[in-house]
Amino acid sequence: MSAAGGVRRHHAGRRPLPRLLTCAAALVSLVVLLPLAFLVVQAVQVGWAQLHALLFRSLTATLIWNTVSLVLVVTALCAVLGTTAAWFVERTDLPYRRLFAILVVIPLGIPDFVVSFGWRAIFPGIGGFWAAVLVMTLAVYPLVFLPVAASLRSADPAQEEVARSLGLGRLRTFWTVTVGQARLAIFGGCILVGLVVLAEFGAFEILGYQTLTTEIYNEFQVGFNQPAACALSLILVLLGAMLLAGEGSVRGRGRTSRVGAGAASRARPARLGRGSPLVLAAMVFLVVLAMGVPVGAIVYLIVQGGNSTLPPASLFAATADTFGYSVAAGVVATLAALPIALLSVRFSRRRVMALESSNMLVLAVPGLVIALSFTYVTEHFLEGRFYQTSPLLVLTYSIMFFPLAIVAVRAAVTRSPVGLEEVANSLGVRRRSVLWRVTLPLIGSGLAAAFALVFLETATELTATLVLHPTNVQTLATQFWAYESNVSYSQAAPYAGVMVLIAAVPGYILGRWFDRQPERGAMAGGPAAAPAPGTLVAA
Amino acid sequence: MKDLSITGVTKSFGPQDVLRGVDLTVPHGSFTAILGASGSGKTTLLRIVAGFERPDEGEVKLGEQVVDDSRSCFVPCQHRRIGYVPQEGALFPHLSVGRNVAFGLGRGPNRKERVDELLELVGLSGYRRRYPHQLSGGQQQRVALARALAIEPDIVLLDEPFASLDAALRASVRGDVLDVLRLAGTTSILVTHDQDEALSMADQVAVLRHGVIAQLGTPAELYGHPEDPELAQFLGESNVLEGEVRDGMVTTGLGRLAVREWSGPSGGGTAMVMVRPEQIALGEPARGELEATVASYEYFGHDAVVRVRPGTEGLPELVVRVTGGTPLEPGHRIGLSVLGPVVAWPAPLGNGETPE
């Protein structure tokens, strides 16, 4: 029994909303939704006639086809790969399963464009649709693996036993019960995969595969064709919104129920028997492809390039700048998430939920689109002020990764029920003192996790940074990109290496932290139960 | 001497009236139970006393001091010296047992001694360095009590503290808590929906129903003299029969019975009669006694509950509690007799609904 878990929420939703908190939350939501509003402003300025002409041309159809087919194939592959791997790791007697549980997740910490860079470095001829499928699947399948593994771990194995006792075979039991239990988690993971693939730019640019995102970037940055970029952005946002809507409609129907409070027994792992070496080989193969290739390529390039080509000064400068931006974005996003998370956890009611979910709309807006709409507005309405300045870049990062911060801060706030503060008050302790002695110690680690999530994502962000970074500042990602574009692979490699180090190591620690979070509500095992670095959809 | 007095307290949440004028006095040093079904507003009342919630109208007084008059005067909970033990303890999960207990203590010199003293009081002497998650539910509950007692409160509020414990543990923790509170000599208020808990622990029981105190009295008064049939049902099982009161006796389907209490017109009249299950004795069918058929027999070890169908027309199925004995087969024919005087209320006029 957890000491804090039992505190009842009294009349949540009946108490009046605290005014200051509500104002803060509303303000944050407004800022977060600015890019979407700016996109609409842009579209209005461009005008329907021009938009119509831009939208209904064969290039648009090709781009949509390229993007949608890629999203569908990658999502399907990730669903199969992630679920199967999760089942092997969580529910079988696979040798070294605890080690695999870690190794299999690490690719999530490696930026997608670094993965494709690694493949391209080793197989220079690689490119096109299937190369994009391969790279993206290997880069993002952990988004399915993590929630499914969490859901399998928490699901009641008694259901499988009952199914077996009712005469179902092993395979049918797996399909109807196990997959059934994990279906919400699988679906949640798939939505994340879809959103990530929609927003990806660097990986496809490296592989020479044209999607909506690469075309938007080229229209805007290279061709300075703002109306075309705007039109394509509208399509991209619409596709993202469709994914989000699908997620929302399924979530409401999902239920995992367990009668009674008895502790679920630990699942007896399925025995692989003679299949064991085969499965082991397959898992090793997966780790080699997903982690071995990019990491190996980076190490190889650094070693082969030797020390002479290392530009240490600019590597340190880029690392320092990246670090600075990431810290700033982490702090801003975490603090901004606090009022909304506090409201939604402590005063759960319809208006607050609407406010919280409106922030999730930003998930449908790729970082590139956010960057472009800020560029447009600063150019047209602010005479270029703020454009390519550090504050605007930090604001962009904070908005992009705001949903991540919300998920983590919400989990943190849940750990400090209001009942504990009341008890502290009744013991004669002042409010401010309660904050220091009870609330902050309880939610501190969760706030740190929120900060770390945003920090990691910012440190490896490429697309928006390319558009908005101040001209005299290079981050690890932009410097990497500059060398990569020049085909100076061995010079690009150290930057990729630092990014992987920054992202992968703390990413693993974060993953463990989220695994320890208590289950919440009907989304048991869904993305909300075990979000991880790179996980975007919130509860 | 600090009595707690609650006068005319009302509270509503939106359209829902939770409390509709509660008057209650809790004498200094007593143990009072507030008994009510879920949703009766008992927790809200407790939270108003604690200072977590404010009443819409009415007044809460602690001794001579008004702590909340529902208008300008309000003493925040941290200044009330009221210990609060919520359901499941709500220990601070990040603090050790010792630090939990010491939470409300100032930085005094004998802080450690005080903590040891309190832990000894609740029987957890060796547990100072443990953390809440390493304790059982009952132990957590006792730490929460020690923490509340640390500030030497005038009143300790217990919000269904035993609800989350399993049945076997509940009785023993209940006993421990009662002993500790007696020893500490504090005024205690227990909120519960469990009538056994209220009757066995409290000196005084207040039944909260539909947002008002329906009856206040000692456990024996409440059980023996409930003010209406609904309260009778709420405070344990009862058989309610129709009858005719005349000259201190009531004529029912179970024969002429002595009336212990009658609040109706002095000349008598139609009545509702309560017969507790343990007031009915079963025996061999004998002449002159009422006969019945056994419908079911539930064996509990220390006693058994028998449901019987009387042979007489117009009598409902009766619940009878017997001690031990041999199990009775359904269909078995037995004789009934009523022991001791019964409680009778004037029958409601019209369609048989009980008055409020």
Query: Tens digits of per-residue pLDDT, A430-479?
Result: 878 888 888 888 888 788 888 888 898 899 899 999 999 998 899 999 99
- The CA distance from A7 to the nearest CA of chain B, in Å, is 6
Number of neighbours of residue A284 by Cβ within 10 angstroms: 14
pLDDT at A82 > cutoff 90: yes
Average pLDDT over every residue of B263-288: 83
Residue B191: band (very low, low, confident or very high) from pLDDT cuts 50, 70, 90: very high
- Region class of B284: left (phi > 0), else alpha (psi between -120 and 50), else beta: beta
Residues forming a β-bridge with B208: B213
Q: Answer yes or no: are the C-beta atoms of A408 and A456 closer than 8 Å.
A: no
Task: Provide, as residue numbers in chain A, all residues whose Cβ is less than 8 Å from the Cβ of B87.
Answer: 6-8
Average pLDDT over every residue of A83-93: 89
Residue B355: predicted pLDDT: 44
Residue B214: predicted pLDDT: 92
Q: Do B86 and A10 touch (CB under 8 A)?
A: no
pLDDT at A4 > cutoff 50: no
Task: Look at residues A442, A345, A427 and name the one whose alpha carbon lies nearest to residue B52.
Answer: A427
Contacts of A83 (CB under 8 A, 6+ apart): A144, A145, A148, A179, A182, A186
CB proximity A289 to B under 8 Å: no
pLDDT at A218 > cutoff 80: yes
Give the DSSP H or E segment for A351: helix A350-360
Residue B350: predicted pLDDT: 54
C-alpha pair distances (Å), A350 with each of A12, A13, A373, A408, B110? 12, 9, 30, 21, 50
Residue B115: predicted pLDDT: 92
Range with top average pLDDT, A123-137, A482-496, B299-313: A123-137
Q: For residues B43 and B38, give the distance between their C-alpha atoms in angstroms, rounded to a whole number.
A: 9
Q: Do B78 and A430 touch (CB under 8 A)?
A: yes
CA angle at residue A86 from A501 to A500, to 5 degrees?
A: 10
Residue A362: predicted pLDDT: 85
pTM above 0.90, yes or no: no
Q: For residues A402 and A362, give the distance between their C-alpha atoms in angstroms, rounded to a whole number.
A: 8
Task: Provide, as residue numbers in chain B, all residues whose Cβ is less than 8 Å from the Cβ of A420.
Answer: 90, 92
Q: Do B133 and A3 touch (CB under 8 A)?
A: yes
Mean residue pLDDT across chain A = 82
pLDDT at A312 > cutoff 70: no
Residue B356: predicted pLDDT: 40
Residue A518: predicted pLDDT: 44
Residue A288: predicted pLDDT: 94
**Percentage of residues in chain B having pLDDT higher than 90:** 26
Give the DSSP H or E segment for A159: helix A158-165
Residue A46: band (very low, low, confident or very high) from pLDDT cuts 50, 70, 90: confident
Q: What is the pLDDT of residues A241-281, one digit of tens each?
A: 998 888 777 665 544 444 444 444 556 677 788 888 999 99
Residue A21: band (very low, low, confident or very high) from pLDDT cuts 50, 70, 90: confident
Q: Do A6 and B90 touch (CB under 8 A)?
A: yes
Contacts of A417 (CB under 8 A, 6+ apart): A4, A7, A9, B90
Q: What is the dihedral of CA A406, A412, A415, A418, to 10 degrees?
A: -60
**Percentage of residues in chain A having pLDDT higher than 90:** 32
CB proximity B92 to A under 8 Å: yes
Tokens of B108: 């005094």
Residue B287: band (very low, low, confident or very high) from pLDDT cuts 50, 70, 90: low
CA angle at residue B173 from B167 to B175, to 5 degrees?
A: 110
Mean residue pLDDT across chain B = 87
pLDDT at A11 > cutoff 70: no
> A142 versus A267: which is more confidently predicted?
A142
**How big is the A-B interface in CB pairs under 8 Å?**
98
Task: Look at residues A128, A423, A7 and name the one whose alpha carbon lies nearest to residue B151.
Answer: A423
Closest chain B residue by Cα to residue A14: B13
A3, A424, A441 ranked by CB distance to B89: nearest: A3
CB proximity B32 to A under 8 Å: no
* Burial track B96-116 (b if 16+ CB lie within 10 A, e otherwise): bbbbbbbbbbeeeeeeeebbe
Q: What is the pLDDT of residues B320-353, one digit of tens each?
A: 998 867 788 888 888 888 888 888 888 876 544 4
User: Which residue type sits at A52?
Assistant: H
Residue A506: predicted pLDDT: 66
Q: For residues A518 and B346, give the distance between their C-alpha atoms in angstroms, rounded to a whole number.
A: 56
**Lowest-confidence region among A316-325, A346-355, B14-23, B103-112:** A346-355
Q: Do B92 and A429 touch (CB under 8 A)?
A: no
Q: Answer yes or no: are the C-beta atoms of B104 and B84 closer than 8 Å.
A: no
Task: Provide, as residue numbers in chain B, all residues whose Cβ is less than 8 Å from the Cβ of A10.
Answer: 43-44, 47, 52-53
**Percentage of residues in chain A having pLDDT higher than 70:** 85
Q: For residues A395 and A362, give the distance between their C-alpha atoms in angstroms, rounded to a whole number.
A: 13
pLDDT at A63 > cutoff 90: yes
Task: Look at residues A218, A227, A224, A219 and name the one whose alpha carbon lies nearest to residue A45.
Answer: A227
- The CA distance from A428 to the nearest CA of chain B, in Å, is 4
- Region class of B168: left (phi > 0), else alpha (psi between -120 and 50), else beta: alpha
Q: Do A441 and B94 touch (CB under 8 A)?
A: yes
Residue A3: predicted pLDDT: 39
- Which ranges in chain B belong to alpha helices (H)? 42-50, 97-102, 111-121, 137-150, 167-184, 195-201, 219-224, 229-234
- Burial of B5 per CB tally in 10 Å (0-12, 13-18, 19+): middle
HSE at residue B268, side-chain half, CA atoms within 13 A, is 12
Closest chain B residue by Cα to residue A7: B90
Residue B233: predicted pLDDT: 87
pLDDT at A528 > cutoff 60: no
DSSP state of A174: I
- The CA distance from A13 to the nearest CA of chain B, in Å, is 10
CB proximity B55 to A under 8 Å: no
Q: What is the pLDDT of residues A30-43, one digit of tens each?
A: 999 989 888 888 88
Q: Do B90 and A423 touch (CB under 8 A)?
A: yes
Q: For residues A185 and A348, give the distance between their C-alpha atoms in angstroms, rounded to a whole number.
A: 23
Residue A149: predicted pLDDT: 87
pLDDT at A1 > cutoff 60: no
Residue A290: predicted pLDDT: 92
Residue A490: predicted pLDDT: 84
C-alpha pair distances (Å), B58 with each of A242, B32, B159? 54, 20, 22
Q: Do B148 and A429 touch (CB under 8 A)?
A: no
Q: What is the pLDDT of residues B233-274, one digit of tens each?
A: 888 888 888 888 888 888 888 888 888 878 778 878 888 889
Residue A182: predicted pLDDT: 84
Three-state DSSP state, A440: helix
Go through chain A and tell me how many residues it has: 539
Q: Do A3 and B151 touch (CB under 8 A)?
A: no
Give me the interface pTM, i.e. the ipTM: 0.76
Q: For residues B27 and A246, give the distance between their C-alpha atoms in angstroms, rounded to a whole number.
A: 61
Give the 3-state secondary structure percentages of chain B, helix then strand then coil, rounded to 5. Answer: 25, 35, 40
HSE at residue A24, side-chain half, CA atoms within 13 A, is 14
CB proximity A3 to B under 8 Å: yes
Task: Look at residues B66, B69, B86, B74 and name the one whose alpha carbon lies nearest to residue B2.
Answer: B66
- The CA distance from A455 to the nearest CA of chain B, in Å, is 26
> B178 versus A515: which is more confidently predicted?
B178
